[in-house]
Amino acid sequence: MTNDYQEFQRHFGRYLRDPRRCQRPPGIPARAAAVYSELLFNNVCGFLDACFPVCRELLGESRWRRLNRSFYRDWPLHTPWFREIPREFARYLAGAGIKPPLPAWLAELAHYEWVELAVEAMDAPIPDHDPEGNLLQKPVVVNPACRVLTYAWPVHRIGVVYRPRKPLLTYLAVHRAADDTVRFSELNAVTARLLALLSAAPITGLAALQQIADELEHPSPHQLIAFGSELLLQLRRQGILLGSQLTACPIGITDSSG
């Protein structure tokens, strides 16, 4: 069944995404069309401006708005959640093969700016854990509101006074601390690998460090483990690690003598 009224909706939708190049639908006065195209685009820009202040500043207003427009025009937006519009913008920059030349680091910078928003609001309840537990000997509990990120560019340093020309492999952790503020930490490659292993499956700190020593073919694994045990404590102080898993009480051994 084809419905003429739905053809109007499709036409109006095309117009609203691209009012400069698309004819407005018959029967829509210019004034009303302009009101709508402005309202809708400003609405989307509001979400993007709030999430990407650094990208916006570095591109300059007119390039930024052109990029906002091509995003709204070209990128299919299937999420009903407004907070996911910035995620889609970061995906658009990474995946859309955009024509106008953009800084090589822009997609990663946008991703990094989006992660801050995502970590701040992610629904990641704190699991049970022992905050004092032995991180080497017991399975480690990683803060679920934490993202460990690998970028080709030093995105955390990019700003008006620093626009890198050469890539620099960069590891970062973005996590939500106990006071609900978002914290950023630069990591080295070993720490990033350690966090990746601890996040992938519940394993002890020792097992993770031994695996890293194997992967590196480290000449003296004991040194790495000694270094790593300090590292685990530091990550716990930062709130990136929460502690160790609680030891389940084996049935029948609990003291019930009162």
Partner 1 sequence: MAALRSAGGAGLGFRRELIPALKAGVPSAVSFFELAPENWAGIGGRWGKDLRYFSERHRFVCHGLSLSLGGLAPLDTALLRRIRSFMAEHGITLYTEHLSWCSDDSHLYDLLPIPMTADAVRWTADRIRQAQDILDMRIGIENPSYYVSPPGAELTESEFITAIATEADCLLHLDVNNVYVNSRNFSFDPLAFIDALPLERTAYVHVAGHYVEPDGLIVDTHGADVIDPVWGLLAAAYERIGGEVPTCLERDFNFPDLGCLAVEVETIARLQAAAPVITRRAA
Beta strands in the chain, from DSSP E residues, in sequence order: 140-142, 146-151, 170-176, 182-187, 241-244
31 binds partner 1 (CB under 8 A): yes
Min CB(252)–partner 1 separation in Å: 37
Min CB(79)–partner 1 separation in Å: 7
Place of tokens 């691209």: 18
Q: Choose, by CB under 8 A, the member of 18, 22, 36, 91 that binds partner 1.
A: 36
45 binds partner 1 (CB under 8 A): no
Question: Quick check: 174 and 119 in contact, CB under 8 A?
Answer: yes
**List of residues 6+ apart from 104 with CB closer than 8 A:** 153, 167
Min CB(75)–partner 1 separation in Å: 8
- The neighbour count for residue 178, using CB atoms within 10 Å, is 9
Question: Quick check: 245 and 135 in contact, CB under 8 A?
Answer: no
Binding region for partner 1 (CB under 8 A) out of 40-48, 56-64, 100-108, 194-202: 40-48
Min CB(29)–partner 1 separation in Å: 7
Locate 216 and state its tokens.
Answer: 């590196």
Q: x/- binding map, residues 100-129, to partner 1, per CB under 8 A? A: --------------------xxxxxx----
**What is the spatial distance between Cα 135 and Cα 109, in angstroms, rounded to a whole number?**
33
21 binds partner 1 (CB under 8 A): no
44 binds partner 1 (CB under 8 A): yes
Q: x/- binding map, residues 213-252, to partner 1, per CB under 8 A? A: ----------------------------------------
Min CB(242)–partner 1 separation in Å: 15
Place of tokens 């292993």: 197
**What is the spatial distance between Cα 231 and Cα 114, in angstroms, rounded to a whole number?**
27
Q: What is the DSSP letter of 82?
A: G
- Chain positions contacting partner 1, by CB under 8 A: 3-6, 8-10, 12-13, 16-17, 25-29, 31-33, 35-36, 39-40, 43-44, 76-83, 85, 120-125, 145, 176, 180
